[in-house]
Structure formats: structure tokens, C-alpha cells
Amino acid sequence: MVALAANAKRPLTTGSLLSGGPKSGRRRKFTTPLLIILVVQGLVAWHYWGGSDHEGVGVAEGSRDALARIWHPSSSSREPPGQLGGAGSVSTALRRRTDRALDVPFKLSSDPLPVHHIHEQIHFHNHPLSPHRPPSNQFLLAPDAVSSGRIKRTAPVLSIITATQNPREIMLETAASVLGQSLQNIEWIIVDDHTTKPESLAMLRQIAKDPRVVVIPNTGDKGLSASRNVALRWVLSEEKLREGRRPKYLASLDDDDLYEFTALEKTVWMLESNPEWDMGGFHVIKFNANNETVTMGLHSGAANFFNGNFVPNAAVYSTRAVLNSGCRYDDVNFAVGGEDWDFWMCLAENGHWGGTVPEPLYWYRGNPAAFRQSRWGNMFVDGFSSLKQRIQDKHVALTESGRFPDPPVRPSRELEAIRWEAPFETHLARFKKTIMFIVPWLYVGGADVGALHQIQLFAEQGYRVTVVCTLYRNPQGVELRPHVLQYTHDVHILPSFLRASDIPRYIKYLVDTRGIEEVVMSNSQLIYEMLPALAEQMPHVKFIDYLHNEAYDGWKSGGYPTFSLITQRFLSRTVTCSWYLRDWLIERGHTNPNSIGVVKLGIEVADFSPNNASMKALAKRDLLNVPESTVVVTIVGRLDPQKRPTLVPDIADKLRRLGGYRKGDFVIVMLGDGDLKDEVKARVAQLRVADFVRLLGTVEHPQTYLAATDIFLLPSMSEGISIAVAEAMAMGLPIVTARAGALPEQLGEAPGVDSSQLAGVLVDHQLKADVDAPKYADELHRLIDDPELRARFGANGRKNVEKSFDWRTTLMGMFDEIKKAKLPDYTKALAMPNPAAHFALQNLLLENHSETDFAAGQNALKAPTRFGIGKELQERCGESSQALTDWINSVESPRNCDKKGKLEAELLQRSAKFQCGAWCLFDLTTDKFAGWSYNGQCFTPFDEQSPGWCKEFWSSRPAGVHLPKDVAIPLRGDDDDDDDIDDDEGA
């Protein structure tokens, strides 16, 4: 992931993404019932509501017109369901979508708004049914699930219980959010608690036309708790059990709240993945009367008893837990509020608990205080503290320490069993225009913004896009998710709700349930490595990979392009973002160049425009405090080895000597941060060029600095297509960069094009500072002296990006590439690398490096002679590299980094024997989190109180090793150490 992580740290400069702020539509509200109808309608509506009388429901007036407008008359959705049917059962075989797939339009909002998850950024009106979101018909009920009668014969995965009394029109939004779930195999039990208003009754009848809806009257005592118990009695009845119709999961939803469309699918999968759990929650957004976000929840454990109720009222719970515990809603003691809290505490008292999907999947509509009171009585009549008292009195057992249930999550283990079959049938319709994008995560960085643009483009063409992330890193790794959610509801950050061993089958499940036949994958090592299995499980699915650039530092022998080469037998097509990279693949033995296409990423050209002289003078003064005459040279790039930032002080030094320049003649502005910052600073000081080099760190909008710039410099080792260079070209700046990677191509170099048409100069570097710095200085000197040449290069660059670098134009190529994708022909497979060989060697090198790598053996021959603990470590760990030599030296005589601090050297050394080369040495005499972190020289003790960075690596503590604390083990060199360890193997 190194290459991507590096890419990803680039600050985003595409203005359109950052302008998630106020837009004209932001304050727009639903003004007409028609809008509500528009969002409520789906295929289900067409089949089950639209085809019947309106029965005088005011809100439904005109729904036919609305339907006619959103469904093309030619749409196959008008076909009788039977034609789309066929035998469908839970099966492990994938079904091709072809004739069974629906062709239902999916039309994006014309005014999309990002769906943020960070409180300060959230648009609280942008809930799942907001007109700024994708339409609510992304997921529809499979017609054949109805026509075959399966929906009435089999148990739903989950039953939602909603008690309602004289529901308002707003309940139609709740209905749309329930019936539009990606988990379509649900039942909605609506308990009508003595509704009297005719329009409400009519609306309930209307909703009940959906075959999954059951309306049950509450004929007994009024109230929320009593009504919900009516539903529980019904759903848990013996009769249901006999019919095989008892659901595995339950949830209680108020009649005006909203689920995100993937809420139930993700939560249920989390529970399937963690069978010891009985409750699944999510983060909550409260909107309407008050705007709040709730990120506490089931994971907050006993705080839910002692401090307040943080379990979302719409959380999923298992039928098993309700049956085991006998818990019901307490309509005597909590008839006027607190019923949810009491119910959860009852489950907790009986040992049932669970966890949280860390994503806002539920929108809780806050109502004016008077409203709820008018319906359900005087909630919180005595205030919160009295409610808390009553909860604690009733569930007094939970006050005992250690009594609150804390069912642990099983840590993932290597080589756990992998299943491929889905745990349930979803009854989700398959669609014709679908596509899946798989990326490791959604950083705000070049690679992922490229993915976002592709997602947007496909969604704008009517595709239902499914997005999968294979890594979860909060918050950076989900920063771009709000923007992706503008184009699809279907975004899945797998490790945030699934155990690792369920990832393969979940991907297959998504592909199967959505009817996906094309998967575009980018930068995901996991998917490349899993591809042999995925291709075997889904033989008709085309896997297409998109490549950005080779790893410049030799990581994985070139990184993702190397993965692409190795797995080519399973790929239907490979798309690179430069001709350079295509050639790179062919040079390294790609067997089928015809299967490689080129599609450039592009930038938002409209966000950049060349600055005129007077504006530039102003920018120079305001931003940099230099006069117009100072030539400003700007570099945008991370301070890491790829970009060679340490070369810059040398360039500045050579340049000032070359031109006899003084302070104020030129200045090199470096934008970006990174590990080499201190080194660059030191070099600046050493060469005394502080007057000529400025390090400004990362800035949010490099455009503002580009506006003050005369020359753009990028002395990288290599680059794929560089977004920073493209943006500088769009600003009309001349470029000085290396003849490396795709940079020549980007500056316009091509056969038959002479250098006067390029966007700048290309330096033939040798990657030696003393050779390269003068070369760069020469070119800069020439440009500083020649404003006309600068202007010509700048104009060429601007023309070049206008013509061929706007992302909407460049990325259109993806549609062709997808069409050209051909399922692999395995008869030719012998000519291609077999990934199994590569992956096996990769893992062996990771785990048994010193026993596998010839170089390790050779290096071990050179290891020093050691005695005592040093000898022991040498024998156990194999002293096969300089890094291990340093480590063993340090463990031999461990020093505390804090010179005044103490260190339990003997404990450290004993523990080190089982953690060869580790920089986080866990204390193996305790099961608690404790040990010493190493920094290459000395050690810093850590424990729960001061955890340090080793907290992240806690899962790497050697399993099953428990050393006795007080037995002083003689530090012998040759004895069998294993007899004092309680090892897994013995058990």
C-alpha cells in the first residue's frame, strides 16, 4: 500500500470537491408532496402501489404522473413480474444477469451534496431521501421473489417493528427508506395503535400493498410499548415458527425515522460475522428539531447503563436474544418514555450485547416536544435523572462490577476457514447497468479522486455503482466517502463491519446480489492476491484493473503494475493512466498488449486559469511578501525520496552562483510536508540558501500559490501522470522536471513533436545530486532570463490540458475500455505467470525471511561473534541483516530513551527472544498491554497508562507465549527455552 498511501497524502486541489459548502440548493426544502412521492417511488411502488386506486390519500395524488415521468415507457419494469422470474434460491452459483436483469433508470440529483459524517460538516437535511442524494430506487425487490411466492413462504432475514398512531405523511419517507433497503428480504410489521384519521388509515392501506408489509391493529391498551409488544407476540408466535417464517433478526423503527439504504444489510452482516453478538448498532444523525450526531453506542458498553442510553433505538437485535431473555417492552413502568433503554438493559442483564458499524446509517427525526407528547404521552415527565434512577432500580444486577456483558470480538487469525456462500437471500433485483469499483480506501488524494471521477461518470450515465474499500482507516481513509455518496448509496468499507475471513464471500455476495459483471479494481493488493479465487468463484465477471504508476522505490518490484503482470491470466483488461506505463508492462513481458488500454485521469481544468501580470504581482506581494520582479519557482510535492526535495537547496545554491543572483532575485517555494523536512532544512542551513528557499508545508489550496508563481519545478525520481504538473500547466506555468516516468508524455513529448511545443523542459537526470543540481540550475537560469520562453511553455501547457486533460473527456475512455474487456482465455494461461508461485514466495519471504533469502545466509556469515543473550538472540533470530545486528546490539544492553527512567532489562531480554527484530517488544510475562517500544537506539516502556504507538500493533503480540514473571531464567545460549513457555502447540 506504500505507493498509494504516498499518493494519497497529496492535498486535494480540485476545487469542486472542496466546495461541498453552501450551494444554492442547500436550503431548499421539499415544497410539494410530489417530491416526496418521487422519492418514495421504486419498482415496488410501480408494481404494488402504482397499479391501484389512490383511495383518497391526499399525498398520493398525482403519483401516476410522477411515475410516468420517472419510468421510461419502454422500461422493462412494466413487464409482468413472471417474465423476469425463474427459480431463485440461495445458491453458491452466481447467476448471470442477462435477461433477468432489470433496466430501471437511475437518475442522479442535479444538485448533489456530499454526505458528511463529521458533525461540523454534516448537512442535516441531506438524509437518504433528500433531493440532493441519489434516487431511492437504487435497490428494488426482485420481481421473481414475489412471483415465485418465495417472499410469502420463507422467513425474512429481519422484521422491522413500527408502532404508529395517526401517522403523518412523513411516514412515506420512512416507508421508502425501509422498502428501498439493499437488504430487500425483510418484513415490516406496522402496528396500528388506534389510528382514527381517515387519511392516515388510507396511507397505511397504501403502504400495506407492498407484499412485505403487515399491518396489525393494536386492539388492547394504547401506547408505544404495548404496540411493539403486539408485534413481538405476532412475530415470535409458535405459528410463525411452524410455518418456518420466524426472522433471525428484529429492529424497532419509529414511523418518521430513516435508515440509510445499506444500513440493515451492513448491520446484519456484522452480526453474521460475529455470531456471539446479538445487537448491532450504528452512528446516528439527529435532524429536524435539533441537529446532533451520536457516535456513542453499543461499543460504549456499561456507559449505556450508568450514563444514559446510547444504543440507537433502531438498532438490530436477534430473535434468539429476545426468546432467551423473555424481554419485552415494559408498558407499565416505561409507558411514558425510556422503553428502549429499559429493553436494551433487559437484554444486557441476560448477557446479550453487541457492537457498532462506525458509520452514520440511521437518521433520527427530532420532533418538537409537544408532538411526541400528543401521541405517546408525557415522556420524560419527571426528567432524565428520575428515568435513570428507575432504570438502575429495575436492572440493579447490572450495577455489580463486571456484570455488564462484554462479548469480545474474535481477533482475526491467519488461515481461518473461508466460506463462499451467502448467509441469506436478499431478494434484491439485479440490474442491467451496474459496475463495481474496488479501491483500498477513499483518501483525499490523486488516486482516489481519480476513482471518484470514474464513479461519478458511470453514475451519471445511469449505472448503479457499488463501491468497495478493502482497508479501513478512520478518518483519513474515509475522507472522500461523502463525495462518493453523492453518486451511489452503495459504499462498503469492508473491515469496518466484517471480520477478515468474511471479506471474500461478501464481495461475491455483492457481485451476485447486484448483478455485477464488471469490476474495476485499483491499487488493492488484497484483490490482486485473491483474484485467482474470485475469478474461479465468479467465472463470468470481468475484472479490469486501473494502474496509476509503478513504485519508484522498488516496493514489491514495481508495485501494482507488477501485481497486474502477475495476475494477467485472470484480468479481462488492464487500463493504465499513461502510455509510458503501458510500455512498462509490455517491456516486462505482458503477453497480450492488445488487452492494455490507456485512459488518463485528468483534472478539473475549469478550476485553474492562468493569472495575468497584475494579479500575479498582487499575489506575490500578499502571499510571499516579495516584489513583482522576484522570480517565484514553486514545487508542490511531498517531502519524500521520490520527489527529491533534498536536491532543492543544492539547485538553489548552484542557481544563485550561476546568475550572480541576490536575495530577492528568485525564491524557490516548497509546498508539502514529509519525512525529509528536517533534512531539507539542514541542507538549506548548510548551504546558507535560506534567502532563496522557503518551506511552507502543506497548504489546502496550492492554486493560490501557483497564482504567484513564474516557474513550476518538480525534480522527482519518477512520476506517473502527475496531477500537480497538470494543475501547473492549467495555470499556464512553464514546467521544469525530469525526463522520467510519464512526465515527458505529460509535457507533450511525442514522436514528431518538436521541443518548442512542449510545456517545459525535461532534465536528463542521473539521480546524483552533484550532477543533477547544476543541470536543473542551468534550465532555471535560462528560464529566469527569458520571460518569453516561459510564456510560450506556459501557453503550450494550458493548450495541452484544455485539449486533453479535462477529466470528463479523458475518463470517457473508460466506457470503451469496459466494452473491450474480454473474459480471460485460460488455454493460453501457461504462457503467463502463475500468481500462486509469486504469492507463496512473497509470504515465505515475509515470514521466514532469514531461512529463505540467500542474501540473509550470506550476511549471517558476516555476523559478529556473540556471547550470552546476544548469542541466544543470534541463534534464534538469525543475524542476517544490519537492522538485526543493530537490534541485537540494543537488546544486549538495553537503554531507556528517557535517561532518567528505569528499564527492566532482564524482562525485556526474555521477551525479546520471542519477538525477533520487533520494534514493539511486548512484555510476555503479562497478558496486559505492556512492553517497550524501540526507536533504533533505545527503548521506551509502555503500558495501558502510556500506550504510545505500539497500541496499534497489539495484535502482533506472539499468541500463546506466557513467561513466568518471577522465575529468573538463566540466559543460557543452547538450552531448550520452550519448556518454560505455555505454548499453543502443546495444548
Ligand X SMILES: *[C@@H]1O[C@H](CO)[C@@H](O)[C@H](O)[C@H]1NC(C)=O
DSSP one-letter code for 94:
P
Interface residue with ligand X, options 116, 123, 283, 395 (CB under 6 A): 123
Say how far apart CA 639 and CA 670 lie, in whole Å: 9
Q: What crossing angle do the helices spanning 647-659 and 769-785 adopt, rounded to 10°?
A: 50
Interface residue with ligand X, options 54, 95, 125, 372 (CB under 6 A): 125
Our CB check for ligand X shows the closer of 293 and 842 to be 293
Least distance (Å) between residue 118 CB and ligand X: 13
Q: Are 507 and 531 in contact (CB under 8 A)?
A: no
Least distance (Å) between residue 14 CB and ligand X: 20
Say how far apart CA 629 and CA 502 lie, in whole Å: 62
* Grid cell in block for residue 858: 550470506
Least distance (Å) between residue 291 CB and ligand X: 4
Contact between 291 and ligand X per CB under 6 A: yes
Least distance (Å) between residue 288 CB and ligand X: 7
* Grid cell in block for residue 81: 413480474
Conformation bin of residue 523: beta by default, left when phi > 0, alpha when psi is -120 to 50: left
Our CB check for ligand X shows the closer of 615 and 845 to be 615
Least distance (Å) between residue 25 CB and ligand X: 12
Binding to ligand X by CB under 6 A, coded x per residue (else -) over 592-631, reads: --------------------x-xx----------------
Our CB check for ligand X shows the closer of 614 and 945 to be 614
Least distance (Å) between residue 921 CB and ligand X: 49
Our CB check for ligand X shows the closer of 290 and 848 to be 290
Say how far apart CA 633 and CA 630 lie, in whole Å: 9
What DSSP string runs through 973-984? SSS-GGGGS--G
What DSSP string runs through 177-223? HHHT-S---EEEEEEE-S---HHHHHHHHHHTTSTTEEEEE--SS-S
Least distance (Å) between residue 614 CB and ligand X: 5
Interface residue with ligand X, options 48, 49, 124, 443 (CB under 6 A): 124
Our CB check for ligand X shows the closer of 125 and 792 to be 125
Contact between 386 and ligand X per CB under 6 A: no
Our CB check for ligand X shows the closer of 385 and 612 to be 612
Least distance (Å) between residue 620 CB and ligand X: 14
Our CB check for ligand X shows the closer of 122 and 924 to be 122
Least distance (Å) between residue 609 CB and ligand X: 8
DSSP one-letter code for 863:
P
Q: Which amino acid belongs to residue 362?
A: Y
* DSSP-H helix ranges across 180-330: 198-207, 224-235, 238-242, 263-273, 303-306, 319-325
Least distance (Å) between residue 256 CB and ligand X: 16
Which of 485, 508, 494 lies closest to 439, judged by CA? 494
Backbone angles phi, psi at 147, to 5 degrees: -65, -30
Our CB check for ligand X shows the closer of 610 and 824 to be 610
Least distance (Å) between residue 30 CB and ligand X: 13
Q: Are 731 and 703 in contact (CB under 8 A)?
A: yes
From residue 590, give the alpha-carbon distance in Å to each of 283, 541, 576, 829, 834: 46, 21, 13, 12, 13
Number of residues that bind ligand X (CB under 6 A): 8
Least distance (Å) between residue 845 CB and ligand X: 52
Please tell me whether residue 475 adopts helix, strand or coil conformation: coil
Q: Is the peptide bond before 734 cis (omega within 30 degrees of 0)?
A: no
Our CB check for ligand X shows the closer of 124 and 441 to be 124
Contact between 116 and ligand X per CB under 6 A: no
Least distance (Å) between residue 403 CB and ligand X: 39
Our CB check for ligand X shows the closer of 22 and 275 to be 22
Our CB check for ligand X shows the closer of 291 and 834 to be 291
Q: Are 964 and 980 in contact (CB under 8 A)?
A: yes
* Grid cell in block for residue 601: 485521469
Residues in region 172-211 near ligand X by CB under 6 A: none
Backbone angles phi, psi at 985, to 5 degrees: -60, -35
Instruction: Extract the runs of DSSP E, i.e. beta strands, from 651-790.
Output: 666-671, 693-697, 711-714, 735-738, 760-763
**C-alpha triplet 496, 458, 481: angle, nearest 5°:** 30
Q: Are 764 and 776 in contact (CB under 8 A)?
A: no
Q: Are 668 and 651 in contact (CB under 8 A)?
A: yes
Least distance (Å) between residue 31 CB and ligand X: 15
Least distance (Å) between residue 133 CB and ligand X: 14
Say how far apart CA 900 and CA 897 lie, in whole Å: 9
* Grid cell in block for residue 388: 435513570
Say how far apart CA 126 and CA 91 lie, in whole Å: 37
To which residue does cell 415470535 refer? 236
What DSSP string runs through 119-186? GGG--TT--TTSTTS--TTSS-B-HHHHHTSHHHHS--SEEEEEEESS--TTHHHHHHHHHT-S---E
From residue 393, give the alpha-carbon distance in Å to each of 313, 322, 345, 386, 406: 21, 21, 11, 10, 21
Interface residue with ligand X, options 32, 290, 389, 704 (CB under 6 A): 290
DSSP one-letter code for 47:
I
To which residue does cell 475518463 refer? 811
Least distance (Å) between residue 615 CB and ligand X: 5
Our CB check for ligand X shows the closer of 74 and 614 to be 614
Judged by CB under 6 A, the stretch of 123-131, 147-155, 190-198, 803-811 that binds ligand X is: 123-131
Our CB check for ligand X shows the closer of 124 and 546 to be 124
Our CB check for ligand X shows the closer of 122 and 201 to be 122
Our CB check for ligand X shows the closer of 409 and 615 to be 615
Residues in region 405-424 near ligand X by CB under 6 A: none
Least distance (Å) between residue 123 CB and ligand X: 5
Least distance (Å) between residue 612 CB and ligand X: 4
Our CB check for ligand X shows the closer of 124 and 887 to be 124
Our CB check for ligand X shows the closer of 22 and 58 to be 22
* Grid cell in block for residue 466: 457499488
Our CB check for ligand X shows the closer of 124 and 776 to be 124
Say how far apart CA 788 and CA 211 lie, in whole Å: 74
Residues in region 483-512 near ligand X by CB under 6 A: none
Q: Which residue is nearest to ligand X (CB)?
A: 124
- Give the footprint of ligand X on this chain (CB under 6 A): 123-125, 290-291, 612, 614-615
